[in-house]
Amino acid sequence: MSMDRDLLDTAVEMARQAGQITLEYFRSDRLGTTTKADGTPVTLADTAAESHLRAALRDAFPDDAIKGEEEDDEPGTSGRCWYIDPIDGTAAFTRGVPTYSNLIALIDEDGPAIGVIHLPAMGETVAAGRGLGCELNKAPCSVSGTAELDTDAYFTSTGYEDFSPDQLAAVHRSGMKMRTWGDAYGYALVATGRCDVMFDPIVSEWDVAPMPIILSEAGGRFTGLDQSDGFSAGTGLATNGVLHPAALDLLHP
C-alpha cells in the first residue's frame, strides 16, 4: 500500500527540526561529548535532538512504537514503529565534518514505509515513501546506471578498519574508486546516483532503518551482506541494483 504524502512530509519536517537543534551545537565549544559503554561518542546534541523527535512523534502518533539510539524503546499499539537516529555520524559531527545526518524511518504492517536522511550542515534531505518515489530536496532522484564493478564505479564506506583483509583486497582489485563518504551520507549518495556502492560491515538498526525504502524507491537495492532484506542483519550494502549481485559476491566472506 502506498504511503500518505502528508505523512512523509511530516517525517521530513521532524527531521529538519532535529537538524536545526544539532546545528546549534555544531562546531561549538559546548558539545558535552562523552563515551558510551560501547566506546562510541554521544553529545548533548544527540540527546537534545532525540528528545525532541520522541516528543514530536508521541504528540503526533501516540499509538506508534518508537526505537532510537539514545533512549529506551517505547511500545505502541498501532503495529507501526518509528526508528530514529538523532545524529548518524556523531564522530564526524564532533570533528566539525558536515556529513552527519538525522535519520527517521517508519515500519508498518507491510514493511518499510518511510525513510528520511536529513543532512542539516549540507542542506540536503533525501526522503522516500512507499509508492511515492525518492526525492532530494523535493526533486525526484534515482540511482546511477553504472553497470560494472570497475574503474567507472565509485565504492564508499564509513571506514575501512572493520573490513576483513580479503574484503579490502577484493575491492581494491576491482579497480573501483574507493572513498569514505560515509555514515548515512554514503547511502544518500547511492540513492541520488552520485555513488554506486555503499557498504558498512557493522551497523545498528537505527543506522540503516531508512535505507530499504529509500534505495528501493530510488531504483536501487539495500540488503545485509547475508542477502537478507530489511535492516537487521548488522551489515549494510546499498547499490544501484544492477551491481548488487556482483557486490555481494565481491564482499562475501
Task: Give 51-86 as a DSSP string.
Answer: HHHHHHHHHH-TTSEEEESSS--B--SSS-EEEEEE
pLDDT of res. 36: 77
For the stretch 108-167, pLDDT in tens is 999 999 999 999 999 999 999 999 999 999 999 999 999 999 999 999 999 999 999 999
- Local confidence band at 253 (pLDDT 50, 70, 90 cut-offs): low
CA 4 distance to own-chain centroid: 21
What is the rounded CA–CA span in Å between residue 82 and residue 8?
Answer: 12
What is the rounded CA–CA span in Å between residue 159 and residue 45?
Answer: 23
Best CA proximity match to 146, nearest among 177, 186, 111, 125:
177
For residue 201, give every residue at least 6 positions away whose Cβ sits within 8 Å of its Cβ, in sequence order, or none: 157, 162, 163, 164, 167, 225, 235
Is-contact 83 50, C-beta < 8 A? no
Predicted TM-score (pTM) of this structure: 0.96
Is-contact 124 150, C-beta < 8 A? no
Residue 241 region, left (φ>0) first, then alpha (ψ -120 to 50), else beta?
Answer: left
- Cell output for 88: 548518524
For the stretch 218-244, pLDDT in tens is 999 999 999 999 999 999 999 999 999
- Local confidence band at 189 (pLDDT 50, 70, 90 cut-offs): very high
Amino acid at position 240, single letter: N
For the stretch 45-86, pLDDT in tens is 999 999 999 999 999 999 999 999 888 899 999 999 999 999
The domains found in the chain, sorted by start residue, are: 5-140 (3.30.540.10), 154-251 (3.40.190.80)
Segment 101-107 shows an average pLDDT of 98
Is-contact 198 238, C-beta < 8 A? yes
